[in-house]
Amino acid sequence: MDMVKAAKELLLQDRVDIFLGYHKLDGHQIPHGFTKARVADLDQLEISLNRYPLEKIACDLAQKDPTLKIGILARDCSQRALNLLYTWDQLNPENIETLTVNCCPSSLSTHGDCSYLKPKTTGEYKKAHGIDYNDSPKDFMAEHDSQDRLSRWMYEFQKCIKCYGCRNVCPVCFCKECSLEHPNLVEPGVLPAEVPIFHLIRATHMAGRCIDCGLCEDACPAHIPLRMLYREVNDAVSDIFGYVPGDHIEKSPFSIIGKTVELTPAPMDV
């Protein structure tokens, strides 16, 4: 069904109070909250190649009014983020309606709307001393010895300007108290960032959380290949627990605090 028509129906039938999509303003494709009062605005609804964390915006709205019914234009990554936010009780699935965007082309549909359809290009210096954006964690582990891997990651990490953009843009970063702001772990107001601990704190917290949307890497002014780092930690989680974050609405193996642990122990030497 036509996207605009479907979104209009959601609003007019009162199935949602607000619909989060994109529109064009001053030449920029930016997110917008469409409402029933100005339903005609939906004619300007766009899918937009610029992805913004609409799920994070939905969380902001839900925090202000937990009963608000929210419609979201959802790519595959948004759907994964929503699944994860449901399992961590940040959003109520009963209050969320999604309109799915065809973002990944396949044999059935050749058209796709995603800024990631073209692989990122890695410069020669980065290839020689740092990490290729398009490398897979497993290949990277196989091709380089531990000393080389450390020096390559350190090359990437030491460029960090500690902007906290990776955390700020992340759709699944919702903690009220963030370890990256804990003065005992990360000294406030000190530059350069303490490497590699700053990035490893975030990496451990992304284990079982990261839904691989790539917004952090997009927002990183230092071009650190964060997506690959979090893929690496997530591989460990899926190998040990068989859990892929955001794949289904299922409890994360890490949401066990204060309850009885029912997990079968598994070896850590993956």
Answer for which of 16, 61, 160, 229 binds other proteins (CB under 8 A) is 61
Answer for which of 3, 35, 44, 120 binds other proteins (CB under 8 A) is 35
Q: Which stretch binds other proteins (CB under 8 A): 2-10, 12-20, 152-160, 170-178?
A: 12-20
Residue among 161, 237, 223, 233 at smallest CA distance from 202: 233
Nearest distance from residue 106's CB to other proteins, in Å? 26
Within 78-117, which residues bind other proteins (CB under 8 A)? Answer: none
Nearest distance from residue 265's CB to other proteins, in Å? 40
Tokens standing for residue 152: 């390559």
Closer CB to other proteins, 27 or 119, in the complex: 27
Instruction: Say if residues 229 and 156 touch (Cβ distance below 8 Å).
Output: no
Closer CB to other proteins, 61 or 101, in the complex: 61
Give Cα separations from 267 to 200, 205, 233 (angstroms): 21, 20, 16
Instruction: Identify the residue whose tokens are 């419609």.
Output: 71
Instruction: Say if residues 221 and 165 touch (Cβ distance below 8 Å).
Output: yes
Instruction: Say if residues 85 and 59 touch (Cβ distance below 8 Å).
Output: yes
Measured CA to CA, the distance from residue 72 to residue 151 in angstroms comes to 42
Answer for which of 3, 6, 31, 86 binds other proteins (CB under 8 A) is 31
Judging by DSSP bridges, how do beta strands 70-74 and 28-35 pair with one another? unpaired
Within 206-225, which residues bind other proteins (CB under 8 A)? Answer: 218-221
Answer for which of 97, 122, 162, 254 binds other proteins (CB under 8 A) is 162
Nearest distance from residue 228's CB to other proteins, in Å? 18
Q: Which stretch binds other proteins (CB under 8 A): 27-35, 126-134, 137-145, 172-180?
A: 27-35
The sheet with strand 96-100 has its strands ordered as 28-35, 18-25, 70-74, 96-100
- What residues make contact with other proteins under the rule CB under 8 A? 17-18, 20, 25-33, 35, 50-53, 57, 60-61, 64-65, 68, 161-165, 168-169, 218-221
